[in-house]
Chains A and B, each alone.
Chain A
Amino acid sequence: MLICKNIEVDFDGFKAVNGVDLTLDRGEVHFLIGPNGAGKTTLVDAVTGLAKYSGSVVKDGEELRGKKVHHIARKGIGRTFQTATVFEDLTVAQNLDIAAGAGRSPWALLRRRKHLPANVVETMDRIGLGKEADTPAGILAHGQKQWLEIGMLLVGDADVLLLDEPIAGMGHEERDTTGRLLHDIAADRAVAVVEHDMDFMRAFADRVTVLHAGAVLASGSVDEVSGDPRVQAVYLGTATDEKEPADAATA
């Protein structure tokens, strides 16, 4: 449902992404892995309109290149960031209500919210924050913030979700919960996950694309990719389950 062809992102002569083809399908949790600097996050930036690129990104037959960030978001492409970005001063319910309301008329915006939209209430339960409706997002646990951010994409009716390290800084239990949540929401959506955690990838990936130095090194099922000697050479052989030190710094 999202087809990226020959994406190139050029930072002053340095090609951070160099001719990547990527297809995301409904019903799949698609992991993007690769060593640091492989271009994973830059690729997400390009698709969501943050980074300029050449090539083409087509969703449901519509070219997205050149559109503004908020226009691309309204086409149903949602993303999260490496550090969970929620509105810390607002409550969980308010966060979700804002995320659900990108299409509201000015008149609706200028009035008080009478009651929460049904999809907000439903999503709060789905992401395990049903009891936290009135909790300020700033005091949520780290993992809960990540879930809230995913929930914000769900209520906004995004059907292509690009998640940048959604389990960074989570404990084991939270990881499993997140993995199950990803599969649950992927039932009628395309979900792409940028991740370093190999165990998590093996447990929850339907499909894996390995990026290296801005290009696709291999793509396929977990077994296919793990068995690929080139992948082992550049990635799986060197970095194992260790998480990046940078994650700890940003978390």
Chain B
Amino acid sequence: MRNFFATRLGTWTGFAAAALVLFGLAPLVLSGFRLGLLAQFTCYAIVAVGIGLAWGRGGMLTLGQGVFFGMGAYLMAMHLKMADAEFRNGPGAVPDFMELAGIRELPAYWAPFSSPVFTIAAILVLPTAFAVVLGLAVFKRRVKGAYFAILSQALAGAFAILLIGQQSLGGFNGLSRFRYFFGYNLDDPVNQQMLYFIAAGVLLVVVAIALQLRRSRYGELLVAVRDAEERVRFLGYDAANIKVVAYATAALFASVAGAIFVPVVGIISPASIGIVPSIMFILGVAIGGRASLVGPVVGALAVAWAQTALSEQFPSAWTYAQGLLFILVIALLPGGIASVAALTKRFQRTPAPVEAAA
């Protein structure tokens, strides 16, 4: 089965099946509310694909993806707030939350975000560029392992605190109550479904990019850096550059996910991008299987779904269930859900040579 999905036909079959489920089956069987939840979970899955690349293949434990997710989300939210204000009060209008906070003049850094093109470019470029600069600074100095993980987590915490202090970005409450998404009314169920389709489409694209990176020579090189960085350096490669590419790609994915998350969920606040959400991103990837292609997607969807389902039933129990799940996976199934298939295969294979001999 594994071999089949490694072939060109198998790859297309896999993508076709995924598209059929995401675009055909899901809208058919899920209510509008559930589909909205799935759109939200899909955003987490997009982040997870990036983490799978940086952590699973590249060995960089990115405990602070909330930073890039938050950047994309806030950049998109700023545009939506600007567009709403301009729709109501004409060009240069101040978004509603600023009026309430007593800010009469539009801060200069908000102005460019009235342009949709600028906003989309910023979502694609700014977090990625930040990741490149940060990655070069960190990896050239050979910071890795736990030090890198702590550094990225601290960054997520600091970013959330920084945002809480910014009244012109909504402070603790963040940005919410968006009415239009590039001219489409967000209260309209048809447009909500469109947002889900965008999220699902982006997920497929992101998985395709990750697949290409894995199968390319770069993907092999990334695994080589993960397993023996020094050896790679002594073969004449600058290992830092190799890591930066995966790190920046993960940042880009997280940023795009954040940007889609905003119109889907309708609010972005520091609470959705700090340390705890960053760990949630990692959790899904670990449970799904960080080194596999589909594992992070499955894990992110499963964890988010379990969180919603369980916290509907037992509001206080989810945190414990989550901790337990994490411990069980790390202790019993370090390769995540994705490794189950390989494990069963191994059990089946063990008696095979005996049969062959007989």
Interface residues on B, range: 20 to 34
Which of chain A's residues have a CB closer than 8 A to the CB of B223? 87, 89-90
Tell me the nearest residue of chain B to A93, going by C-beta. B220
* B interface footprint on A78-118 (CB within 8 Å = 1, 0 otherwise): 11010001111110001101110111100011111100000
Chain B, interface SS category: helix
Quick one: which of A70, A71, A85, A99 has the most chain B CB within 10 A? A70
Cβ–Cβ contact B234 & A48, under 8 A: yes
Q: Inter-chain contact count A-B, CB under 8 Å? A: 78
Among B210-218, B300-308, B341-349, the stretch that binds chain A is B210-218
Write the nearest CB–CB distance from B244 to chain A, whole angstroms.
Answer: 12
Q: A85-B231, A111-B217 are in contact. Are A102 and B237 (CB under 8 A)?
A: yes
Q: Cβ of A156 < 8 Å from any Cβ of B?
A: yes
Q: Cβ of A69 < 8 Å from any Cβ of B?
A: yes
Q: Cβ of A152 < 8 Å from any Cβ of B?
A: yes
Q: Cβ of A74 < 8 Å from any Cβ of B?
A: yes
Cβ–Cβ contact B227 & A87, under 8 A: yes
Cβ–Cβ contact B231 & A69, under 8 A: no
Cβ–Cβ contact B212 & A110, under 8 A: yes
Cβ–Cβ contact B234 & A73, under 8 A: yes
Write the nearest CB–CB distance from B6 to chain A, whole angstroms.
Answer: 11
Write the nearest CB–CB distance from A190 to chain B, whole angstroms.
Answer: 17
Interface residues on A, range: 20 to 34
Partner of A69, one of B212, B215, B227, B233: B233
Write the nearest CB–CB distance from A112 to chain B, whole angstroms.
Answer: 5
Q: Cβ of B188 < 8 Å from any Cβ of A?
A: no
Q: A98-B221, A109-B218, A112-B215 are in contact. Are A69 and B228 (CB under 8 A)?
A: no
Cβ–Cβ contact B220 & A90, under 8 A: yes
Cβ–Cβ contact B213 & A110, under 8 A: yes
Which of chain B's residues have a CB closer than 8 A to the CB of A71? 236
Write the nearest CB–CB distance from B335 to chain A, whole angstroms.
Answer: 12
Cβ–Cβ contact B227 & A109, under 8 A: no
Which of chain B's residues have a CB closer than 8 A to the CB of A89? 223, 227
Q: Cβ of B230 < 8 Å from any Cβ of A?
A: yes
Which of chain A's residues have a CB closer than 8 A to the CB of B230? 85
Quick one: which of A69, A74, A101 has the most chain B CB within 10 A? A69
Which of chain B's residues have a CB closer than 8 A to the CB of A97? 217, 220
Quick one: which of A48, A86, A89 has the most chain B CB within 10 A? A89
* A interface footprint on B185-223 (CB within 8 Å = 1, 0 otherwise): 000000000000000000000000000110111101101
Cβ–Cβ contact B236 & A74, under 8 A: yes
Chain B residues in contact with chain A, CB under 8 A? 212-213, 215-218, 220-221, 223-224, 227-228, 230-239
Closest 7 CB pairs of A and B: A102-B236, A73-B236, A74-B236, A109-B218, A87-B224, A85-B231, A69-B233
10 contacts between A and B (CB under 8 A): A70-B237, A70-B238, A81-B231, A85-B231, A86-B231, A88-B227, A89-B227, A101-B221, A113-B217, A156-B235
Chain A residues in contact with chain B, CB under 8 A? 48, 68-71, 73-74, 78-79, 81, 85-90, 94-95, 97-99, 101-104, 108-113, 152, 156
